[in-house]
């Protein structure tokens, strides 16, 4: 009974991870949707790790590899999430790698556990369940690193010259100067709209 309850929570957390992970990946990288769905992904992967730990403890000999995969997913997501929150030097590289590898580990765990019972997947060799998510995911992570990974260095140089906090992304900076506040008492500025 306890295992079934954990399994239901585990499945819901896994579905939440799959959906929120995709939304965060395809969303524009600025305040709003990307960080909001990324935070939900991190919460769901944390819950998924907790339920996987509980289920593996009940059936260790059968599920220990799933615990290890869940631990890798949670650990990777924790590095990616912390990099975004703390913003240490080179944080974008850690964020992309951590969150991306977490998603790859999530899918690997799903296919290792469920692949033998899925219609098309059951025809594939067992090794495919372990390797295919990484074979697809790692090149996408590398592509994202090439696109976004070098940004902090260039922005840090610009920021230091402008007296801004190093590593602050462009979407956090004002794009044009903010006009001074209008004072209706000053005759040259006219009336407020």
Q: What is the pLDDT of residue 178?
A: 58
pTM above 0.85, yes or no: no
pLDDT confidence tier of residue 154, bands split at 50, 70 and 90: very low
The pLDDT, as a whole number, for residue 120 is 87
Both tokens of residue 177? 């100067």
Average confidence (pLDDT) over 172-184? 57
Confidence band of 70 (pLDDT split at 50, 70, 90) = very high
> Is the residue at 181 inside a domain?
no
Judge whether 148 lies within some domain: yes
- Residue (of 122, 126, 150, 10) closest to 73 by Cα position: 10
Average pLDDT on 154-160 reads: 42
The answer to whether residue 145 is domain-embedded is: yes
C-alpha 100/C-alpha 95 separation (Å) is 8
- Write out pLDDT tens, residues 25-61: 999 888 899 999 999 999 999 999 999 999 999 999 9
Q: Rounded to a whole number, what is the largest CA-CA distance in the chain?
A: 82
**Dihedral sign from CA coordinates of 140, 145, 88, 39:** negative
Is 170 part of a structural domain of the chain?
Answer: no
Summary mean pLDDT of the chain: 83
Residue range 4-21: mean pLDDT, rounded: 94
Q: Does the structure show a pLDDT above 60 at 162? A: no
Q: Please report whether residue 176 resides in a domain.
A: no
Examine residue 104 and state whether it is found in any structural domain, yes or no: yes
Question: What pLDDT, on a 0 to 100 scale, did the predictor assign at position 72?
Answer: 97
Number of domains making up the chain: 1
Overall average pLDDT of the 9-14 stretch: 94
Token duo for residue 81: 């999430």
Q: The domain containing residue 10 runs over which residues? A: 2-163
Determine, yes or no, domain membership for 182.
no
In a domain, 180, yes or no: no
Give the pLDDT of residue 176.
58
pLDDT of residue 175: 54
Report whether pLDDT(177) > 80.
no
């Amino acid at each position: 009974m306890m295992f079934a309850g954990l399994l239901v929570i585990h499945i819901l957390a896994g579905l939440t991870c799959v959906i929120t992970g995709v939304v965060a990946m395809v969303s524009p990288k600025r305040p709003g949707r990307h960080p909001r769905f990324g935070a939900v992904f991190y919460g769901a992967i944390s819950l998924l790790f907790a339920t996987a730990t509980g289920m593996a403890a009940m059936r260790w000999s059968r599920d220990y590899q799933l615990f290890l995969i869940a631990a890798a997913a949670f650990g990777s997501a924790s590095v990616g999430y912390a990099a975004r929150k703390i913003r240490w030097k080179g944080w974008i590289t850690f964020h992309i790698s951590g969150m991306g590898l977490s998603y790859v580990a999530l899918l690997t765990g799903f296919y290792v556990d469920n692949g033998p019972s899925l219609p098309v997947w059951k025809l594939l060799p067992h090794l495919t369940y372990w390797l295919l998510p990484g074979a697809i995911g790692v090149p996408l992570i590398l592509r994202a690193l090439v696109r976004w990974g070098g940004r902090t260095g260039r922005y840090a140089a610009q920021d230091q010259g402008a007296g801004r906090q190093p590593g602050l992304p462009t979407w956090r900076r004002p794009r044009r100067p903010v006009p001074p506040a209008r004072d209706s008492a000053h005759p040259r500025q006219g009336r407020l709209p």
